[in-house]
Structure formats: C-alpha cells, structure tokens
Structure 1
Amino acid sequence: MTEDVPLPLSEREAMVMAGEMDEYLNGGREPDERFHEIAAALSAVGAKAALLQTANQARIGQPYEMSRFAPRLSEEEIEFLRTFYGELDEMTPNGLVHLMPWLEGDEGPDWGSAERDAFAAGVADGLLTLSDEGVGGGQYLLPERVRDFANGLPVEDWRERGLLDSRAKGVRSLNWLADAEDFARLLQHSDPGLHGGTEFSANVTLSTGHHLGHNDLAITQDREDAIGSLLEVTTRNESANHAVLTGGIEHPAARVEDSRYASEHMPDFGENRDALAGLYSHDWRDDGEAVAGLTDWITEFAKGTPGQAQMAGDATVGLMETLAGEADDRPFHDTQHQSDTNYQLAVTEVNPEIAESLTGIYLTYLADLTLHAESSGYDTIESGPSSLLLHEPSDKALFIDDATKERFVQLLIADVDSADFVTSSIEALEIDIINAALDSPHPEALRNAGNTTGGMRTIIHDAMIHEFEDRTGTARKRRTKRPLGGRRGSTSGSP
C-alpha cells in the first residue's frame, strides 16, 4: 500500500458494512470471511493514515502555508469513516467508549478472541485516523459520545446503561476515569505507529490530568494500568504534547459554554498547569513511564529539523516555566505525598520515570542554560562572537531566566539518580567551557568562561541549598530532617 492510492471506500460502502456488522454484533450472523474483510478495511485506512503520518513527520512545525499541502486521506475515505463510526456508535448498546466491556462480556456477541481482537484493532485504528486533522479528519467528526469523553464529560446515564463497575453517584471524576478505563481497553488494540489527532489527543491528556488531580481517588491497579495505556496512545502525537505544554490548546471547558461542566462534583478545568500537576503528582505504579511520553519526544526533536527543534524549544520553555512555579506556589515540588520522615515529596521522587525524562531534557539544553536571559524563550542568539563560548552568533537557543533554571534544577536534585547526573554534568560542562575559552581568539574569553561557570555553579548550589532547606524545615517548619540525596521513602495518600 502507498499513501497516495485511494482506497475503494465511500459513504455508501460504510452504510453497507455497518448494516452487515450489526448482524455480526447482535448474533444473527457468525463471523465469516466478510467479517474479516470489514475489519481489514478499517485497518487498511489506519495503515494508510500511519504512512501519511510518517510522510508528514518532517512537516511538523512548519508554517500553515506549507503544512496545508501535506498529503491527506481522500474525502471519500474520511466520509466512509465518519459514517461507519456514527452507525457503529448507535448500534452498540453503550457506544464506542464502552465497546470493550460489552464485547468481552456475557451480553456481547459469542466471538472468539481472534475475532474480538481483529475487530477491536480495526475499530481503534479507524477512530484514531478519523480524529487526526493531519490526514483530513478531526475530533469534530467523531461520534458525539466519543467527543464528550475526550472533553472530560462522564457518561450521565451510567445506571440505566448498566455501567455500574466502580462508579458512584456524585463522584464524577471517578466515573470519568471508569469511562477512561473502558475506552483504553479499545485503544490499546491500536497500531503503535498510529496516533490520534492533535485536538483529540490533547483533550484526552488534559481531561485525564484534571480528573486525576480533582480528588484523592482510590484507583485500582487494573484501572491505573488502563489509564496509563490510554496516555501512551494520546502522547504519541508530539503536536498535542507541544500544545499541552505551551498552552496552545486549553481544556474545552475553558473554551465552550456547557452546563455539564458546572457541576460541583467536576474539576474546575483551570489552567494546563493544573492538569499537568494531576498527571505528575499521581503515584503511578509504573513510576510515571506512560506520563513521561508527554516529554520524551523533546530530546529527539531538539536534534531534528528546524521546525521540530523550534517545537522542542518552545515546549521546553513552557515545561520549565510550569514546573518551576512561583516562590510561594510550587505544586510540583510539594506534592500531597510524604516521605517516611514527613516531608513532602517532589514529583520527581514520586515518579522516577518522569525525573529521567526531565533529566534528559536538562542534558539536551545544558549548553543553552549557560546563556544569560532576563526572560524565557527559544530564539536566535543576538550576542557577539566574543561573548559566546559554546554557541555561534545566529544560533537558535533556549533562553531561561535564572530563577526558573534554579527551581527546575531543584526538581532534578530531589531525585537521587537525577542529582548524580546534574552534578557530574556540571563538571563536564566546565571542561567544555574552559577548552572553548582557551581555543578562542578573543582575549576576554577566559573572563567570560569564569563568569559562565560561576553562574552555573551558583544555580546548582542554590538549587541544592533550597532542596536541603525544604527537607530540613529551615524554609518550611512542618518538615523534619532527612539528608539530601536520600532515597525515596514511603508515601501517604497514594491510591
């Protein structure tokens, strides 16, 4: 298959296939060769979309005037998906969000595991394809109940629909997370090389963070594993991750008028920072591996095309500013989890996989962090060559103000493994700076080298001192002493 060859699909074919699939789903017809043809047709559209997404990867970060010429699915292929999924959502008892519990339960069709897996894979791939603006789709084309889920709205009539598993009246965040578990069981069948649309992926990621951070909810391991697999799917889309980190996409509750968001039992869906705090502060049993997908792409993109490097730089600015917080408002440094010596753990201690991802970003931009900046951004260097040691004039670089640097580094210092990387990286950085100064033809280079290394040493030193003060109670009297660099203790408030 090639990405520029149209598939023989249409709205009419979608109606025919949906009608036939209804017979299979209600037990009136046993899965046969035609059943597998329908599942294969959905997978074929997904496979073509995956090829298009790969071909369009180099266009990420380009201006709209250029990216709008990227190859897409045909209008007939998109209309096929829209029609088929609209019909399928109506013919299944509880819609596509809750397809898998029904499909695998006693009331579902009497299929073997091979038929269920083939059908689920085709449905999952087609849904992600239909949601993707980059191939001609979009969230607005998805069935209404899927859009509601992505937008953070739990199913209202769960009792009437028999969706009683781990749901409760008035606990709407818990109920949405139950919906998320159901939907994750479908999307985990999707092709790992296929991603959903930017709006859809960002909305689901933000909704997950807001609901996780809303209440101290008891979440079973199976549910947490499912939500982690859902985040693995939504963070495949780097443009969506970029939008979450930079604020390019806010949660729909901040953009639309909908009375369903006004319930007292719903999150307030405030800033993206609140959603990120919910994701990072949760004590994940996988140590935050799935959530780390939100940032793992940055180190690769930083070395990619100019457009990708710009995306990575902008995302890093948003990430560092968000995580740094303010002097009196630092939810990422002070989570609700406590160590065995009664001080509040940072997100990097709660979830070491997040610490590893953030440390990778720190090391990627370490040379840029030596640059003096009054404000933050990813921009062109305007300094003259005599003041530069690790850069060239007109290079693009990350500019971060010193206060943000120090608070970001403190998060890394809080985790013992990351702290080792931070301290050793400074020693290697100093050698690079001194060597560059010795090779420089500019007489002031050695003085600049001293100022640069001294400035970085000060940032690391201040971060270590502030972390020590936070732990010993010098800055916060409620904490008791624990030596800096000690290992993560037990937590309270964990699900």
Structure 2
Amino acid sequence: MPVPTKTQAKTWRVDPLYAQALEWETASTSVETATKSVVRDYAGSTGYWSGTLGDTARDDAAALGTEIQRLLDVLDAGAETARAGADDIARAQQVAVSAIDAAESRTFTVAEDGAVAAPDAAMLMPGASSEDVVTAQASLNAEADAHELKIRAALANLGTAEENASKAIKTAFTDLPSAGHSKTEFSFVDRKTEKPNDAELSAEQGEEDGHTVADGKLSDEEIERVANNLARAGLTPEQLAALERGEQATLPASTLAYLDKFYNEAGRDGLLEVSEKLRKDGSPDALKFRENLANGLLTVSNENVVSKERNSSGSPVARGSWDKLDPEIRELVSTRPNFDNEVFGYNGAPDANTRDLPDDYRGFPENETGAWYEDMGRFSDLLSSSNPDYQPGAKFGFELERQGAHQAWILDNKDLDIGLDPQRGWHNLVEHNAERLVDVGSRNHEASQALLTGTDTANIDVEKGFQRDKVFMPLFNHEWADEGAALRGVYDWIPDDAKVENATDPSDVARAENAGKSAYALSQILADSENYSSLMNMPHSGNESLGYVNPIAVQGLSDALSPYIGNIAGVAPEHLATRGFGVLDNDAASRLFTVIDTDPEAAKKFNGDGYATIAELEARFATSVLANPQDAAFELGNPAGRIQGYIEEGYAAEAADRGADAESQKEARQKAFDFAVESGETALSAVPGSDYAEPLIGLLTGSLEDTIVGDADHAVPRDEVAANQADAIQTYNILRALEAQQQLVPSPLPDAYRGPDGSLLPYDEAIQANNPLGDPRTGSDQVGAAALNYLRSQNFPTIEFLASIRAGRDDVLR
C-alpha cells in the first residue's frame, strides 16, 4: 500500500475501527441470544409436534444453529482482529508523530513524504565566519538525514500496520459464504483520502434536510439522506490542518449554502432533539451522524471556511461566520444572565450581559432556569461529540468560552438561589456544561487571544468596557472536575507560537506577536495583587492554592509562560526569539513564579527553564566577550540575577503559604534544576548565537547548581560569606563555559583542577582538590581565586559581570 503522508500520520483516526469491533461484538451477542431461543424452542417441540414434518423442522433448526454459530465465530474473530489492528495502528502512529514532532521542534522542515530539510545555518548565526557556517550547516544536514531516516521508517511501519489490519480482518471473514466476492477493500482507518465536500450540495437540499430535522419525525430513508449529506459537507484532514494553522479552507459556495440553510431551518429545538435521539440510539451509525451534525455546525460558524468561488474583486462569495448560526443558538450561547439577588445583597455574575434568561425560558413550566441548564447541556454535549480537529469560528469560540466561565461562576455561587436543584442533578450538568463549552471554544486560538488580551482581532470586535478578569477569575477560581484540563486549552497553544522561526516572514512574526501579547495578558492576570491573593487561597475550595486544586491548569501555565522567562527578567529584545511580551515589575514577576510554584510539576518545569536561562545568559556573555571585548554584553548579568531572585522568592512565598519547611524548598529546587540539566531546552533557544551556549547545559551540575539550589538555609546566598562563595562559583562557571566553546587558552590553573581527560573538574570536585582539610569554604576561595586570576590574565571582565548578576538578584530580594 502507499506510504502514509505526514498529514495522514497526524490526522488518521482509529476510533472507527474500535467502533466496528464493538458493533461486531454487539451483533454477535444479539444474534446468539435470539438463535439459542429459536433452536431451544424447536428442540423442545417433540411433545406437541411429531411426525416427519416436526422432525424436519427440528433438523432444519439445528442446522441453522450450526450455520449461525459459524457466523458468530467469524464476528467474534473479526472483532478481536479489528481491535488488535487498531492497537497496532495507534502504536505505529504514535511513533511516527513523535518522530515528526522531534524534527519540527528543532526547526527542521518535514515534507509530506517524510523528507527533512535543515534550517539555514547562516540565518541562525548572523555574523559568524563562513567556515563556522559551513561546519554548522554540515552538522545540521547530518541531523536532518538522521531525522528523515527515522520518520520515513515510522511512516512505512504505519502503512504496514494499516495494511496488515485490513488483511487480517478480510482473513477473519473468509469463512462466510459470500467471502471473497466483494470488490470493496477493508480500510477502517478514517483516512478521508477522498474530498467529501467535492460532491455538489445545494441550499435547496439544506432547506429540505433542515425542515426534516425540525419536524423531528425522521424516517430511516430521511435519516440516511441527511447523514450522507452532512458527511459530504465534511472537511478533509488537509483542510482541518490549514484551519489549525490559521489559514483558510475552501468549500464550494453551494456547500456553504447547504449548511447555512440546514442549520437555520432545523433551528435550535430541532437540532437538539435529533442530537438527543442519536445519542440515546448509541449505534456507531447514529453516533457518526451526530458527530457530523456537530462538525457541520462548527464549519458553518468558521470565518476561515470560505467559498472557492470569488467575486470580481477576488474575495470569496461566501464564508462561515457567527451570523450563519440560527438566532436561537446564538442567543443560547451568548446570553449570560446577571442572577442578582437583593435578598443576599449580591450584585450578580461578573461577566453578565442581561438581567434575565432568554425569552423562550421565561415563565417555563416547573423551572425556567433548569430548562435553560438542560438546553445548554444538550447543546454543549452535541458540540463535544464533534471531531476534536474541527474548531468553531473565532466569534463562536469567544462566546463559548465566556459562557463556560459564566457557568463556572454559577457553580461557585450555587447558594444564591439560581436553580441548582440537587434532586434534578443540575449541579453535575452545569459542571459538564462549563467544561465542554471551554474545551470546544478554546479550539480556536483567535478566540482565546481576544479573551486574554481584551482587544479586537481579525474576526472579533471586543465590546467597549470588556474586562478580562471577569472572565478569567471565575475560570481560575473554580475547582474543575477535570483538574483544569479544559481550561488549559485556552492557553496551551501559546508555546507552539511563541518563537519567531523566520524573521523575514511577516505572518510568522505576527503569529509570535499574538502569542506574546496573549502570554503577557495571562501573566498580568495571574500577577495582579488582588487576583494573586485569590489564587493562593481559592475562596470556593477551602482556601487551597490554584495548583493544589487545578494542577493540570497550572502545568499548562508553566508550559505557556516558560518561553517568556527572558522577557519577564528584562532580557533585551535582540537576545530573544519571542515577540509581543510587555514589562512586569519585580513584585509582579515574583507573584507569577509563586502561583506557578503551587503545583510541583509546574514548578519543576518553569524554574528548570529559569535555571537553564541563567546558564545561557552567562554563556552568551562569555561569547560576547570573545567576539568583541570592548562591547561585552554586561546587560545579560542583571536579568540572570533577577531570575535567581524570582525563583527564590517564588519558592519561599509558596512554601510559606502552605507552611512548608526549608528542606522541602531545597528538594523542590533540586527537582527543577535536574529538569534543566536533562531537558537541554532553554527559554532563549532559537535566538542567533544560542548554539554556542548549548554545551554549557551539560556542565551545570558542578557549578550553577551549587549557586542556585544551595542548602536549605541559603537557597540564594544572602550573607557576605555566602555571596563571595557565589561569586567564586559564577567565575568558575564562566571558565567552564569558555572551555566548552574551546576558547580556553593554555591555563595556569593547577593540574589538580583537571580531570583524567584534561578538562576542568565540576565545581563540587574542584573545591576538594588541593584542599587537605576538605573545608568547602577554603576550597571555594582557592578555586575562585584561581579562576578569577586566569580570567584577569586574559583581560576577561568577570568582576563587572558578577556585579551585574548580584545587582539583579539584590533588586528582587531587597
């Protein structure tokens, strides 16, 4: 079979194969039950049906039972084979995607056939000599070849797994009488290699199908017709990938017209009623129909889904939009009642836009608020049944996320008499509503960007007076049943877009700008002093911290903001690959570190990236001195010191909040430091010149570790003796950085400070050399003096740089 492409490897879905296995198992069980009943009844008929005719009937029934057993055996074997095949395909797909991601994360370009192209070394090393560029390019090309070998092998294995699964299923069914006569090939992976939307649909068909759904009395033929038409209006994997990248996907104008007419004619009630019928049916066909029902709704709302046909000015003649949705659906999603309560003296929901429920729910029998919850539940459940690769339009996503925050606020204010009748199960329903609305809405990154920044985007006009805290604090303050997994989706796209990969591409720069502005807004929300107090002592969760209550959400914050540690510390823009991030003062930065430290895993990652950034800043300084001693980058010392201060302040404040001791703080710092050494990924990577600093990461263990991790009482040295020791460590660290760059000329350092291979010992070993009493302070003084004397002999401005680091650290720890 043909080898799958990169896009297919990333978008193939094996759930249809698992669903088929379940369908065969279900059919086997149903047929077996019915058959046993019939055979048993015939076998027991001797008492009332004698003679030749009765004997013949019983013989026929027994023969039928034998044939049916063959069918059951085949169905069971097919189900087992399908499930095993799906497992094999899923494993092979994971290997292929991991190989592709590994290459792309290193800025290599992966083609559809698995070919890998290395980045241009000259672009990564401006100002470097031609010889260095040639050497670097050769290294990059060799790495590209290694990635390509792995990717192409993984793609081939994925194709083999799919082919083997298809053959195995066909083999399982060879015992059927009709086996081998079908011209249809088995291929249960949902590849969508054909383009479903190439088939012509029309507005008239959409109106007819929508009317059928609104009527609610669908015959089997009507169900088949509508299901097939919605499937034909689906998007291909390539189109979904384009939308994920923020690009446009094209459909025939007639297909967009079909979707527009269908959903407006079906209306809110018709859509929700049919969705519930399909959910209760539960068969694979019904659930696929329901998925396509949700997919089409998301498609017609998406501003980046445009018609192939163009007008005289070259613009699409039709496109998806929020306005294409049925008015009652728009009202359901965008109405956020105030729920003010004079009895309790409460002003109501923070992001409310109306005093009351939508018109249709006012005066509703039994409980109007409950009816609104239930319709919101049916609608959010429909949306969550969509293919997760489909995203709503920007405006639709914006409203979904706001409604999710509103539903979260309702849950946390259930004592305000807003209809959460425990006997009706509405509390659990509203919890699910909030999760699903945020989850689906956040698939559109433009929607999340507008929500975070509070500013207009290409497809969203944010209303005057919008206050993002009124949306995000209900989201962060809520104790999520999924521990913040859905909430994480609001900002988990930021790290992928954070760094400029091609500074000559305006769209690439704009992408990074949008990510940076969103990350800065997120930092401001978390670091605001009033918000910070609430997040450290969440009012609806027993005053526990954000990370304790919603650890997955905080881990997402760590991932989203790690690329901006250099920005937070004030590193000059020319040293950064990020864009759009503003300025945080030291107090705000310390609060930000503290909030992220409330989850141990998040703290390990975030502070680990901070440690790695410190190391790279020191190496950048060393590189700048080598390039031009008269223009050494002393300005990098201050941010390195500030990062040390932020890490110390964050750990101390978080530990104090939960009453932890100093030893536990040291243990947490050690985990973060180990992460920095193991990851090798720094917050400044991809910036020109960062290649020179990479060798330093492997040298961290012996020098920087002692400076930052310290002991339980002095995580960051504060007294004069400890500060002098820190200077010695930093000096030795710079010396080892020079050695790593092969810039260390013959050294006057005693041989005692060198290992068997001639390279400098790690700091913790060096201080024991030439130190008979083993006193760490004496060893530190000796090593520091030797390193400083050497650097002075080479006219290396170490003292000035150390002073800059100290000033930055002291500025934070004042």
TM-score category of the 2 structures, normalised to the smaller one:
0.7 to 0.9
Write the letter of the residue equivalent to 1:288.
G
Contact kept? 1:324, 1:330, Cα under 8 Å: no
Cα gap change, 1:114 to 1:421, in 2 (>3 Å): closer
Contact kept? 2:454, 2:468, Cα under 8 Å: yes
Write the letter of the residue equivalent to 1:191.
N
Q: CA RMSD in A?
A: 3.6
Equivalent pairs, count = 416
For structure 1, which segment, 227-236 or 313-322, has the greater mean C-alpha deviation from structure 2 after superposition? 227-236
State how far apart, in whole Å, the 2-side matches of 1:238 and 1:334 are. Answer: 30
Match of 1:76 among 231, 241, 254: 254
Cα gap change, 1:40 to 1:434, in 2 (>3 Å): same
Tell me what 2:335 maps to. Answer: 152
State how far apart, in whole Å, the 2-side matches of 1:176 and 1:432 are. Answer: 55
The alignment's TM-score, normalised by the length of structure 1, stands at: 0.73
State how far apart, in whole Å, the 2-side matches of 1:56 and 1:181 are. Answer: 27
Contact kept? 1:152, 1:204, Cα under 8 Å: no
Instruction: Give CA-to-partner distance per residue, 1:382-404, whole Å, 9 cap, x none.
Output: x6xxxxxx548xx7463432243
Write the letter of the residue equivalent to 1:43.
A
Higher helix share: 2
**How do 1:384-463 and structure 2 match up within 5 A?**
390-391=575-576, 396=579, 398-402=581-585, 403-441=587-625, 442-443=628-629, 445=632, 447-463=634-650
Cα gap change, 1:59 to 1:100, in 2 (>3 Å): closer
Contact kept? 2:278, 2:287, Cα under 8 Å: no
State how far apart, in whole Å, the 2-side matches of 1:186 and 1:348 are. Answer: 31
State how far apart, in whole Å, the 2-side matches of 1:352 and 1:26 are. Answer: 46
Write the letter of the residue equivalent to 1:234.
G
Answer yes or no: is 1:46 the counterpart of 2:221.
Answer: no
Cα gap change, 1:348 to 1:453, in 2 (>3 Å): same
Contact kept? 2:267, 2:326, Cα under 8 Å: yes
State how far apart, in whole Å, the 2-side matches of 1:40 and 1:433 are. Answer: 59
Cα gap change, 1:225 to 1:198, in 2 (>3 Å): same
State how far apart, in whole Å, the 2-side matches of 1:119 and 1:391 are. Answer: 48
Tell me what 2:388 maps to. Answer: 192
Instruction: Give CA-to-partner distance per residue, 1:318-351, whole Å, 9 cap, x none.
Output: 1111221136875434421455xxxx33323220
State how far apart, in whole Å, the 2-side matches of 1:176 and 1:292 are. Answer: 27
The alignment's TM-score, normalised by the length of structure 2, stands at: 0.46
Write the letter of the residue equivalent to 1:26.
K
Instruction: Give CA-to-partner distance per residue, 1:188-221, whole Å, 9 cap, x none.
Output: 2211211110000111101210232245236644
Instruction: Give CA-to-partner distance per residue, 1:107-134, whole Å, 9 cap, x none.
Output: xxxx563453233122111111111111
Deviation at 1:254, TM superposition (A): 8.2
Contact kept? 2:213, 2:274, Cα under 8 Å: no
Deviation at 1:428, TM superposition (A): 2.5
Tell me what 1:354 maps to. Answer: 553
**How do 1:10-21 and structure 2 match up within 5 A?**
10-21=202-213
Q: Which has the higher contact order (CA 8 A, sep 6+)?
A: 1
Tell me what 2:413 maps to. Answer: 216
Contact kept? 1:324, 1:408, Cα under 8 Å: yes
Cα gap change, 1:18 to 1:400, in 2 (>3 Å): same
Write the letter of the residue equivalent to 1:41.
N
State how far apart, in whole Å, the 2-side matches of 1:284 and 1:118 are. Answer: 29
Contact kept? 1:177, 1:208, Cα under 8 Å: no
Contact kept? 1:128, 1:196, Cα under 8 Å: yes
Write the letter of the residue equivalent to 1:420.
K
> SS in structure 2 opposite 1:241?
helix
> SS in structure 2 opposite 1:72?
strand
Instruction: Give CA-to-partner distance per residue, 1:355-394, whole Å, 9 cap, x none.
Output: 1101112322223333258xxxxxxx3x6xxxxxx548xx
Instruction: Report runs of 4+ in structure 1 exceeding 6 Å deviation.
Output: 1-5, 159-162
Match of 1:300 among 496, 506, 527: 496
**How do 1:112-191 and structure 2 match up within 5 A?**
113-135=283-305, 136-153=319-336, 154-158=357-361, 168=367, 172=369, 176-191=372-387
Write the letter of the residue equivalent to 2:545.
A
> SS in structure 2 opposite 1:365?
helix
State how far apart, in whole Å, the 1-side matches of 2:602 and 2:266 are. Answer: 48
State how far apart, in whole Å, the 1-side matches of 2:607 and 2:447 are. Answer: 33
Cα gap change, 1:40 to 1:435, in 2 (>3 Å): same
- Identity, in percent, stands at 21
Match of 2:512 among 309, 312, 324: 309
Cα gap change, 1:255 to 1:399, in 2 (>3 Å): closer
Match of 1:248 among 455, 459, 470: 455
Cα gap change, 1:176 to 1:432, in 2 (>3 Å): farther
Tell me what 1:65 maps to. Answer: none
Match of 1:26 among 200, 204, 217: 217
Contact kept? 1:207, 1:275, Cα under 8 Å: no
For structure 1, the 5+ residue unaligned runs are 61-69, 106-110, 257-268, 374-380, 384-389, 473-480, 487-495
> SS in structure 2 opposite 1:213?
helix
Write the letter of the residue equivalent to 2:210.
A
Contact kept? 1:195, 1:237, Cα under 8 Å: yes
The structure with the larger Rg is: 2
Cα gap change, 1:275 to 1:287, in 2 (>3 Å): same
